[in-house]
Structure 1
Amino acid sequence: MKVKLLTTISFFTYQLSVSQSEKVLHGKVMSNNNPLNKVEVINKTGQTSTRTNNLGEFSILVKSRDSLLFFSKDYFFTRLKITQEHIDQNNITVNMIIKPEELNEVVITNIKFDRVKTSQQNIDDIKLAKDAGSLEKYTGVYNGTITNGTDFARLGKDLVSLFKTEDDKPVKTKTPKTDFKKLVAASIPDDFFIKNLNLKPEEKELFIEFCDADPRSKNLLENSNILITMDFMYAKNEMFKKLKTESQN
């Protein structure tokens, strides 16, 4: 009886140890039935990462309850919680959604128009010039011109003078981005700040400024790695929330 009990306990202990050990998970990343190449696949829990091949396939070590992050700059950030069913299936498919194309920024400038000044003398001079140039008025011979027609040469000169600007100043100038902000914009998806760091949308820019002020952020530029950047932002998020709580109190 004791032997049977020990055998049963040993069997369940073995099954538990096997279920908790890391296993290689195979999968494929797709978008609209097309395989995606060079997608970053990050095991946030296991601190490992890999990339998909030309067929969208990947292999990575996982265990149950690990979090996998899928990132590509042209697609929305995707997160997957690994279950035992995924491990047993060992052939998962992840679908990513492409980001909409962004339009180029339009900069509006101030344009100042010169006021057109006309005196009675100018009017008289123009009338006299028209009368003197009209052969039809004095000789009755038509010279091919239209008496009250438009002087396109003069009109062109007036338009050029109207659109001359004294000082073209942009209404709004963009604040130049630092190298760290460019790194974050290119590698960290927006969902990371809301879903992973639990920040409010309006807190995102302030938090990035907070991280940029830390001299250690410059070290990330020398070794641009998504996983290291995320870990840095996780640590800074704890300090950010602590300072916010203290300021509220």
Structure 2
Amino acid sequence: MKTKIGILLLTLFCQLSYAQIGKSRLIKGQVRNDLVPVENVIVFNTKDHTGTNVNTYGSFEMMASVNDTLVFSSLVFKSKRIILKEEDFLKPKIFVPLEVFTNELAEIIIKARKDMSPVSGNTQKYVDLQYFGDEKSSPKNTAMPPDGSIDKGMDFVRMYKDVLKIMRKNSPEKTDFHQQTSFSDYVINHVNYSFLSNTLKLKDDQIKLFLVFCENDSKSRSLMNPSSEFQLLDFLSTKNKEFKKIIAN
């Protein structure tokens, strides 16, 4: 009798655990970097095909479940993937560190963090620290050879500069491509990650830049409605061909 009760309880526990794993729940998180403020990052749930943007403080929240994969893509930071665990949902907020691209992106505008307060008092010691060559202030790019080339690899910094140069040439009046993100927001919420990744063959590091590239086309504004779903996918496919030509040079 005790054995039967034990088996019954074990079965109920397994069913409850399975139900919790498959159930979508709200998860909150924050992306971080020790060197620069983190913003203009998009987050995709590759399983549920949902996405969102982090806010100006690097925070985000979205529906997800255990074993879902979150993909983080940005212009300034290297992409990152994390697989959610049960303990992540028990925390008030998960923290995701992002690594900045080693070479400086001269064309990228990085806005100052809004919640930072000015330094008061004797500031000379802080000025001196700016020139101290520790590991964080002067990181070495161990993945890049001294001549700046990558054997059978892709230089994302060079690629970003080429794309941004083309956008500025076509629209010289635009100086900060981070400001207008409405089209990117729409695509993130209405287009599956699998379409961007599998159909368009975009790498995680390329997705954010590609959306900004598409957004720079005035035609993108007319496709932000449910009745233009097929036209939107066709537009993205066409822009992807242009995008691939630029980054291939």
TM-score class, shorter-chain normalisation, is: 0.3 to 0.5
Flag the structure with larger Rg: 1
Bigger RCO of structures 1 and 2 (CA < 8 A, at least 6 apart): 2
Q: TM-score, normalised by structure 1?
A: 0.41
